[in-house]
Chains A and B, each alone.
Chain A
Amino acid sequence: MKGGRGMGLLLPAMLLLLVAFVLPVGMLVPTSFRPYVPLVGITRGFTGGYYTRLVTDSYYLEIIGRTLALGLTVTLATLLMGYPLAFFLARTRSRWRNWLTLLVVFPLYLNLVVRTFGWIALLAQNGLVNQALQTLGVVQEPVKLLFNFAGLLIALTHIFLPFMVLVLIGPIQNIPRDVEDAARVLGASWGSTFLRVTLPLSMPGILSGSILVFVLTISALVTPRLLGGPTYQVMSTLIFDEFLQRLNWPAGSAAALLLTLMVLALVFLSGVLARRTGARA
């Protein structure tokens, strides 16, 4: 009885998931095994060639590796910058607290394209960042910050930082102050208390924030396209090009399915991890 009512509540979301996720992704599967002949289109037949190419061809391997590396570094960067910020916002008693939180969220109100163009203006050869670096004498020649890893890292970190902070605030607020006080009274210094109590108890937030940012990063399209240009590819731009530039739907489907698989594997892995840490916290 109780279970039945629970299922009823889940139904709308399940239906949406089915129509908007499971069915389209399912339709990609047969497409990804069909041979594509240039100028002819998708032909009848069966080939696993697009998958083999993805995992053997160094061009594609580099793109996959770059996507994963970008996901990891952006996650790490948002975590390193976001945790102290979230910690401050979770603990401060300042009456400015709500305004500060709003300030963190504020970039989300701006259109993504506008924000990305902002970064192009800042990171260009003669952009603000390079001008500042040269004026300060840090570098002689302009540093290349566009159409490479550094540019994507900077822009994506900026764009996804609010997500990390927002996800972290709640779990940090939920850590009872008494538990930290208990550690200190028992002889743990501030640093020791943080490492042994605060940080382990923040793990649920760190985990969910990291998954969110990682998934958002490896599937981001607009920012890598605009800041990476046509040549500096990540998986999402590769998929985009296969579908809409080269019209090679089978190749695009194979790449899309691989990306989906990577995301699902990550979500599953983190679920296991969360159960193991969450079981204790």
Chain B
Amino acid sequence: MNGAQPALRFSGLRKTFGAVVAVADVSLDAAPGEFLSLLGPSGCGKSTVLRMVAGLVEPDAGRIVLAGEDITAVPVHRRNLGLVFQSYALFPHMTVFENVAFGLRRRGVGEAALRPRVERMLELVRLGSLGARYPRELSGGQQQRVALGRALVTEPQVLLLDEPLSNLDALLRDEMRVELKRLQERLGTTMIFVTHDQAEALILSDRVVVMEAGRVEQVGRPEEVYRRPATPFVARFLGRANFFAGTVEKTDADAIVVAAEGGLSLVATARAGMAAGQRVQVAIRQESIRLGPAAGAVARPNRFAATVVFHAFAGQAHHYVVQLADGRELEVAAPGGAPALARGSRAVVEWAPEDVVLLPEGAGGGAR
């Protein structure tokens, strides 16, 4: 990001399928060695962007520049890119070794140079002894590692990953996440990772690109998009949050007061771009809310009396639904180590002004 030439840049990418706009004007830069995630619900255009970069889908408009070279018109097989598919897409009629060797053979690498390179890659993805097997003889995780090795062995400038972990079961997925991240740090390959799994994107990425309806909603570091979502869509898509519609009542040097519909008064830390009378959406993440047993009537901002109406224990967290005095229900996630509050018990909820997310009404297209 330090002004060096981006490993991959695409600008003004657009693709329509018939009347459906799959991708509308998407521009991005990926720095060398960066792990960039395209995150969004299915049908948001993230996979189409990836396939356009790979050359499998021809963009209607826009340019794709790989390390300074315009590859928009370069045919698929001459772009030096790696692509890992959700379905793994291994060659079923070839051994693991031949699968990994395929890209090198197409590049005219001689038999003598090829063997050690393939074997080193198989070691790297922990498949050293399985070279002679056929893909159908491998587990899902092993097949995924073959796909990774096959894509990485040609040393592509950029590795594209299209939901590579979605077909694995939960435990294996966690394992592969760690493995993938380590591999990326070790090789320094720029990776563009498409996923609909927000946790995956947050854990793996240097930067997350949140997409919706063919557009980029927000680009930022994981903490940025999570803590300071730019649009209601991003706030809703990343993590679970409680939403209030309201109007900015007053702003001063260190606080903004929002009058929420229904009479609650919410206090947020001061930030630029807010004026009294402005309509806003307020989002409060469920884990930002502190829940405690009913105590003395201490009047503090963002502190309200509540009744527990639902409780479930999920290991790492207690999930609650609490009802405020005005009948509004809030979702709360409390640390799993804390003692549980029984259903029906009186409680107080409280959250810090800096945890209040303010979203200007009508920002972005995602207000749903």
Contact = CB atoms under 8 A, between A and B. Distances in A.
A40 B93 CA distance: 61
A178 B154 contact: no
Contact of A185 (B76, B90, B94, B134): B76
A193 B103 CA distance: 12
A176 interface: yes
A18 B59 CA distance: 61
Contacts of A176: 87, 89
Interface string B75-93: 1111101110101011111
B76 A184 contact: yes
Contacts of A185: 54-56, 76-77, 79, 81-83, 151
Interface string A175-202: 0101101111111110011001100110
Interface string A152-193: 000000000000000000000000101101111111110011
A281 interface: yes
Given A181-B56, A184-B56, A186-B150, A281 B77 contact: no
Interface in A241-281: 277, 280-281
Given A181-B85, A186-B106, A197 B77 contact: no
B90 A179 contact: yes
Contact of B92 (A179, A187, A193): A179
B106 A201 contact: no
A196 B94 CA distance: 10
B106 A178 contact: no
B102 interface: yes
Contacts of B93: 200-201, 277, 280-281
B107 interface: yes
A192 to B, nearest CB: 7
B251 to A, nearest CB: 52
A141 B127 CA distance: 69
A281 B134 CA distance: 9
Interface residues of A, number: 21
A260 B150 CA distance: 48
A175 to B, nearest CB: 10
Contact of B85 (A178, A192, A200, A280): A178
Nearest to B136: A280
Contact of B154 (A181, A187, A196, A197): A187
Contacts of B151: 185-186
Interface residues of B, number: 27
B77 A188 contact: yes
Nearest to A179: B89
A85 to B, nearest CB: 24
A181 B89 contact: yes
Given A187-B154, A188-B106, A179 B76 contact: no
Given A185-B83, A187-B107, A281 B76 contact: no
A182 B83 CA distance: 7
Nearest to B84: A182
Interface string B98-128: 0000110011000000000000000000000
Contacts of B87: 176, 178
B195 to A, nearest CB: 17
A192 B91 CA distance: 14
Given A185-B81, A185-B83, A186-B102, A280 B92 contact: yes
Task: With a 10 A CB-CB cut-off, give which of A186, A189, A277, A280 has the most chain B CB atoms.
Answer: A186
Contacts of A201: 92-93
Nearest to B150: A186
A186 B89 contact: no
A186 B154 CA distance: 8
A188 to B, nearest CB: 5
A197 B76 contact: no
A182 to B, nearest CB: 4
A154 B106 CA distance: 40
Contacts of A280: 92-94, 134
7 contacts: A184-B77, A185-B54, A185-B55, A185-B81, A187-B103, A188-B77, A188-B102
Interface of B: 54-56, 75-79, 81-83, 85, 87, 89-94, 102-103, 106-107, 134, 150-151, 154
